[in-house]
Amino acid sequence: MLTRLLKASVLTSFAFFSLNATQFDAQAQKDKEELVKYFEAKFQDPYKDKNRFFLYSPEEELKDGYEKGLKHMDFGIGSYSYAKDAREQYEAIKEFPPYEDKIEDGEDLYTKEFANGNSLKTCFPDPTIGGDYPYFDTKRKEVISLTTAINECLEANNEKKWNVKKGKMATFQAFLAYSTAEAQKKMNIKIPTKEAQEAYERGKEYYYTQRGYLKLSCATCHIQGAGQRVRNEKLSPLLGQVTHFPVHRLKWGSLGTLERRMSGCIKDQGQVPPKNDSKQMHELLYFMAYMSNGMPIDGPDVRK
Amino acid sequence: MAKTRIKAKEKNGVVTVKTLSKHPMLSYVEAKRAKKEVNFITHFMAEANGKVVYEVSTSQFLSKDPYMKFKFTGAKKGDKVTITWVDLKGNKDVSTKKIR
Amino acid sequence: MLERRNFLGLSVLAFGVAAAPLNLSAVNFRETKPNLWKATKVDDAIKELFGTTSATEGKIKLRAPDIAENGAVIPVSFETDLKASKIAVFQDANPESAVAVFDIPDNAIIDYGIRIKMAETGTVTVVAQENGKLYKVSKLVKVTIGGCGG
Amino acid sequence: MNKLLNISLVSIITIVFGACASSSSPSLSSIKDIDVEKVCSVENNGIEKVIQTAKKYNEIAKKNELEFRRLGVNNTDLIISVEEAIKTGAKEVNPKDFKGKASKTKLPIDFAAIRACKFAITALTQANEAKTSWRLAVPGDGYEY
């Protein structure tokens, strides 16, 4: 019953979107639907579909290690949606996540007054905006990430910019993500103009382009490779990849931003990662965020 | 300042407590590598209504910011759980939370 | 979010209480069994704590991962219906073996969870003592260097 | 006549490609069909020439944000380490990592020069190939399953 209700509401929201959709996001919309179709097919039954999707995985691993019959929204928790053993640990850690106090610290940062009497609250009167970034600024004709918007707010108020990877930036974003999740908001990326569409297309091309000395694309690991194991990693899917940031990574032992994660990942392809506030990074994130459109914001979260 | 966050819930007479304590838990090996002094929580105790309800002597091998989950009976909603821990250097922390 | 302020207030109160003698029945095994924590073999540690190593397998439900997401944060939990007076957790992946020793109060329900560190692949062992008898369970946990990227 | 035609064809292609890659350096798209084994051979060209080739192409790679990094070592730093070794006569190089600290990479100088050269050129040729091949990985587009 509940699932039917959910389906119905998803359908209506689709309908709503397509009614509202201008031609600019027609392609993006189609890309997203195709992506969902692919992932649902891939994780319908990994053991049965070994020859189709998991040629290189050991049979016993496919038999026991994977969750089956996954649907679109299941991918919101990334690789934990299919990796059983990892999922248990994830849930054990989520019983008392290590970042909880950061949400409150983030709220303090939100209301803390700058020297000029303003605060971050002045720039972001509504803290439930985690799903609206990155957005295409039609006046400036460029993609603005949340991290960039926060630093621009600080600078506009004569405050020092924050490190974009961790520390205060991640702490404050934890509060925004939490507020957005509490308000049960979803990823809501828009493609309003021709320029925005072009930015989306460039981000998409970046995602699928093989790069670095290992000649890997983002897609190699996170579309075709999603769910495959590399050493001890079951690679995560593009769907839902940006909905849970900032994350506390066990590897970092602290909270970090999406940008921190991204540059680590691109570095692993064997090339110099683009700068965190570069056009390339912003457009790449724009594409990725659009692919998660309609999925609930569930940050901050824990990852390995 | 209290360094332990506590969640305590009562259901059907059983109180479930989850705690997270801020502590680096530096083992001998880690401390040497980080050129810091060894320090970790050595004893951790919970009380409710004047009775010890959970008690553990701990080592250097609990994770950073150690987590504890435990259950006990004999307390109701509104009662308080008090957590007390000491570390190797003798620092002591006491935190209290009402059972919900 | 308001909660924390409450909680801070309470803890100030608690400090007042803490000034009064508080060690009601506490046994700090670090004081009573100093050698336990130096033992480098699980069996030596069990012997040091319980006086014997002969134990029956089972009667405790131990949960630990097959492959740790990260060796620095391994969730370990255990449950038992035994009326145990003492339970201890050991592993053989670190220089010393003992991780934690629980002294079980009579109104405890033994359904405990902790997070532990292991430097490499090893076996987690939980030993419970009930009426002088020992019960034991073990599980292998694989630890690899994990986590792609930065 | 034939030659002239060839030249004009090449230049037209260059212009067209250059226009496509509007934001990037126009020379990127012209770099293809380079035999890296040949141009990066220290035996055939001498180490100075090879490292010059590396430098030339790596500059373009940098401009287009395509520079390779292996185990923390940017190709630029690998090139610098070879140039320094040529000056000092050292047989082995130990390039700095991207943070400016000594890296764990230690290589014989010839090997380092060859790698730097191949990395520099491959970064560009691979990017050119990808301009047409990337759609092959897109579900619902070039990718079938």
The reply to whether B59 touches chain C by the CB within 8 Å rule is yes
Torsion of CA A193, A199, A200, A203, to 10 degrees: -170
Residue holding tokens 């020793």? C101
Determine the pLDDT at residue C33: 83
| A221 catalytic per annotation | no
CA distance D84 to D95: 10
Is residue D23 pLDDT above 80, yes or no?
no
The distance in angstroms from the start CA to the end CA of chain B is 23
Tokens representing residue D135 in the block: 């759609």
Note down the domain range covering B44.
Answer: 4-98
Is residue D21 pLDDT above 70, yes or no?
no
Percent of chain D with pLDDT over 70: 82
Q: How far is CA B81 from the centre of its chain?
A: 11
pLDDT, tens digit (0-9, with 9 covering 90-100), for B51-73? 999 999 999 999 999 999 999 99
Same domain (yes/no): D54, D95 = yes
Which residues on chain A place their C-beta less than 8 Å from a C-beta of chain B? 95-96, 98, 100-101, 253
Question: Which domains occur in chain A, in start order?
Answer: 23-97+191-303 (1.10.760.10), 100-182 (1.10.760.10)
Number of domains composing chain B: 1
The reply to whether B18 touches chain A by the CB within 8 Å rule is yes
At D100, is the pLDDT very low, low, confident or very high (cuts 50, 70, 90)? very high
Residue D88 domain flag: yes
Residue D8 domain flag: yes
**SS3 state at C29:** helix
Q: Sign of the C-alpha dihedral, residues A35, A36, A41, A45?
A: positive
Instruction: Name the average pLDDT for chain A.
Output: 92
Q: Looking at beta carbons, which residues of chain A come within 8 Å of C77? A: 92
Determine the pLDDT at residue A279: 95
CA distance A213 to A218: 14
pLDDT, tens digit (0-9, with 9 covering 90-100), for C3-12? 444 444 344 3
Residue D47 domain flag: yes
Closest CB to A96 among B7, B22, B64? B7
Is residue A11 pLDDT above 80, yes or no?
no
Is residue A39 pLDDT above 60, yes or no?
yes
Q: How far is CA B66 from the centre of its chain?
A: 8
Is residue A201 pLDDT above 70, yes or no?
yes
Chains that touch C (3 or more CB pairs under 8 A): A, B
Same domain (yes/no): D35, D100 = yes
Is-contact A126 A180, C-beta < 8 A? Answer: no
Same domain (yes/no): D11, D59 = no
Can you tell me the mean pLDDT for B16-28? 95
Can you tell me the mean pLDDT for A21-32? 88
CA distance C77 to C89: 10
Tokens representing residue A145 in the block: 């990430």
Is residue D12 pLDDT above 90, yes or no?
no
Residue holding tokens 């790596």? D58
Closest CB to C111 among B71, B94, B98? B71
CA distance A242 to A235: 14
Is residue D26 pLDDT above 90, yes or no?
no
The reply to whether A219 touches chain D by the CB within 8 Å rule is yes
Residue type at D80 in one-letter notation: I
Can you tell me the mean pLDDT for A80-94? 94
Determine the pLDDT at residue A23: 86
Reported pTM: 0.85
Can you tell me the mean pLDDT for D9-28? 45
Residue type at A302 in one-letter notation: V
Q: Looking at beta carbons, which residues of chain C come within 8 Å of A230? A: 148
Closest CB to D67 among A217, A220, A272? A272
Residue D89 to residues A41, C53, C142, Cα–Cα distance (Å)? 59, 65, 47
> Which are the contacts of C136, defined by CB distance < 8 A and separation ≥ 6?
C55, C56, C57, C58, C60, C125, C126, C127, C128
Residue D12 domain flag: yes
Can you tell me the mean pLDDT for D5-10? 46
Residue D137 domain flag: no
Determine the pLDDT at residue C149: 65
Cβ neighbours, 10 Å, residue C49: 23
Determine the pLDDT at residue B2: 64
Residue D142 domain flag: no
Question: Which domains occur in chain C, in start order?
Answer: 27-141 (2.60.40.2470)
Strand partners, B96: B82
Number of domains composing chain D: 2
Is-contact D124 D61, C-beta < 8 A? Answer: yes
At A3, is the pLDDT very low, low, confident or very high (cuts 50, 70, 90)? low
Candidates D93, D88, D64; CA nearest to D77 is D93
| Pairing between β-strand A135-137 and β-strand A142-144 as defined by DSSP bridges | antiparallel
Determine the pLDDT at residue A249: 94
Can you tell me the mean pLDDT for C28-53? 89
Same domain (yes/no): D37, D85 = yes
At C144, is the pLDDT very low, low, confident or very high (cuts 50, 70, 90)? confident
Is residue C25 pLDDT above 60, yes or no?
no
The reply to whether A38 touches chain D by the CB within 8 Å rule is yes
Note down the domain range covering D39.
Answer: 31-132
CA distance B96 to B78: 12
Is residue D128 pLDDT above 50, yes or no?
yes
CA distance A119 to A140: 24
Same domain (yes/no): D106, D44 = yes
Can you tell me the mean pLDDT for B32-40? 93
Same domain (yes/no): D79, D125 = yes
Can you tell me the mean pLDDT for A128-133? 96
Same domain (yes/no): D103, D58 = yes
List the single best residue of A272, A278, A280 to mutate versus D (max D Cβ within 10 A). A272
Same domain (yes/no): D18, D35 = no
At residue A79, what are phi and psi to the nearest 5 degrees? -65, -20
CA atoms lying within 13 Å on the CB side of residue A202 = 18
Same domain (yes/no): D64, D98 = yes
ipTM: 0.81
Q: Domain holding B19: CATH number?
A: 2.60.40.10
The distance in angstroms from the start CA to the end CA of chain A is 35
Is residue D63 pLDDT above 60, yes or no?
yes
Same domain (yes/no): D44, D93 = yes
Candidates A234, A126, A102; CA nearest to A188 is A126
| Pairing between β-strand D73-74 and β-strand D92-93 as defined by DSSP bridges | unpaired
Contact C105 B62 (CB under 8 A): no
pLDDT, tens digit (0-9, with 9 covering 90-100), for C97-109? 999 999 999 999 9
Residue D140 domain flag: no
At D68, is the pLDDT very low, low, confident or very high (cuts 50, 70, 90)? very high
Torsion of CA B49, B51, B53, B55, to 10 degrees: 130
Helix (H) or strand (E) holding C47: helix C42-50
